[in-house]
Amino acid sequence: MNRLLSHALLACALALAGSAFAQDGAEVYAAQCASCHQPEGQGLGTFPALADNEFVQGDERELVELMLSGRAAMPAFASILDDADIAAVLTHVRSSWGNDADAIEAEFVAEVREGVDEPEAVEVDLPDDWFELGEAAYQRNCAACHQASGAGIPGAFPALAENAFVQGNADELLRILLNGRAGMPAFAGSLGNADIALIASYVRNAWENEAHLVDADMVEVVRGGGDLELDPTTPTFRPGAGQ
């Protein structure tokens, strides 16, 4: 094949890949946002409605900064979504459910991203084989209900695999493990901080999940009724986790 032709084909393949992966804001929304903000942007409980929302239709820079850095229980998407995906999902949200605001371009997201400081990972103190230890402790304490696959049992035990809550705010996850909730038993009495940290780190990184690790000191803080007060810009994803 001559060189010119192969370049033309490559450019064409890249253009196709770009449009297939990055541009569908509705798909990104369904995969990344709908579990909290709900399929029609109507919100639920502490998850604000994005439908008919002034902030969503307002200042583009503030909106992109919130997406990149997160805030409280809203995850930071800087390391989850690339510029094109963030532009696509925000453009979708800004033109759906009664919202009517201009599209956001990937170039603009890139510009805002440059001004947002790269958040630093928080140091965690875990043994090297935390994943295997966490898996074993999960099997002993959790798998009877939530299943070894993390898929749960529909209608009875929620799936922990690909679960936004499990990968979200670590304080809230630790609180439910320690104190229980409805049919979910409390583990504060039966498990020590080290085991709870291993299990929390495992469920946040097993299956397709990926989220910041948790160590025994963090569990102690939450057990004592405190908050981790992790900087909201703390990356949700920790490089190397889950391998």
* Cβ within 8 Å of residue 49, ≥6 positions away: 37, 38, 41, 42, 43
160 part of the interface to ligand HEC, by CB under 6 A: yes
Between 105 and 134, how does the x/- string for binding to ligand HEC read (CB under 6 A)? ------------------------------
Q: Which of 30, 51, 145, 151 binds ligand HEC (CB under 6 A)?
A: 145
Q: Give, for 48, the enclosing helix (H) or strand (E).
A: none
Binding window for ligand HEC (CB under 6 A); candidates: 9-17, 29-37, 100-108, 120-128: 29-37
The answer to whether 36 and 44 have CB atoms below 8 angstroms apart is yes
Please tell me whether residue 7 binds ligand HEC under the rule CB under 6 A: no
Strand partners, 72: none
Distance CA 199, CA 32 (A): 24
Residue 216 lies near ligand HEC (rule: CB under 6 A): no
Q: Which residues contact 220 (CB under 8 A, 6 or more apart)?
A: 193
Q: What angle do CA 185, 188, 192 make, to 5 degrees?
A: 125
Does 236 sit near ligand HEC (CB under 6 A)? no
Which residues, 48 to 67, sit near ligand HEC by CB under 6 A?
Answer: 48, 50, 53, 55-56, 63, 66
3-state secondary structure string across 98-127: CCCCCCCCHHHHHHHHHHCCCCCCCCCCCC
Among 7, 40, 42, 181, the residue binding ligand HEC under the rule CB under 6 A is 181
Q: How far is the CB of 6 from ligand HEC (least distance, A)?
A: 37
Q: Which residues bind ligand HEC (CB under 6 A)?
A: 32-33, 35-37, 46-48, 50, 53, 55-56, 63, 66, 71-75, 77, 89, 93, 141-142, 144-146, 157-158, 160, 163-166, 168, 173, 176-177, 181-185, 187, 199, 203
